[in-house]
A = this chain, B = another copy of it.
């Protein structure tokens, strides 16, 4: 799997947040229901995003989470790195320690270029871009497809 489940859940949730960013807090309960993700699990994941200040949270009634800046300023890469770390983008395809430095593995050239392309793709795409695309083309971010971008 390219991305962990946690990461995928984090992406889905932040896409949703970016899709109707209005300054208000959205409760994790609401996110978890719309996205059909376990509430407690999603809470844990989103905590990782608030920990690195990609999100802000507020406890209590009217509380919830919101992006800490405009969704245009947050890239998919920001979310991926916050949750899965840099491994995907730095590790050797053969799992050898210290990709690239000293002695590369036989797959290095091929993999390094594909890997850079993945990074480029994630880095050049903002949450808002993806959310807008999803909204405009009515794309899917849940398994059943019942989700609607209001």
Contact = CB atoms under 8 A, between A and B. Distances in A.
Interface of A: 1-3, 5, 8, 11-12, 15, 76, 87-88, 91, 93-97, 102-108, 110-111, 114, 117-118, 121, 125, 130-131, 133-134, 138-143, 145
A2 B114 CA distance: 11
Q: Is the interface of A mostly helix, strand, loop or mixed?
A: loop
Given A8-B94, A11-B94, A114-B118, A103 B145 contact: yes
A6 to B, nearest CB: 11
A60 to B, nearest CB: 31
A48 B30 CA distance: 44
Given A97-B143, A140-B103, A121 B125 contact: no
B93 A3 contact: yes
B143 A96 contact: yes
A74 to B, nearest CB: 15
Contacts of A134: 105-106
B143 A131 contact: no
A34 to B, nearest CB: 14
A142 to B, nearest CB: 7
Contact of A107 (B105, B130, B138): B130
Contacts of A142: 96
Given A94-B11, A94-B12, A117-B114, A106 B3 contact: no
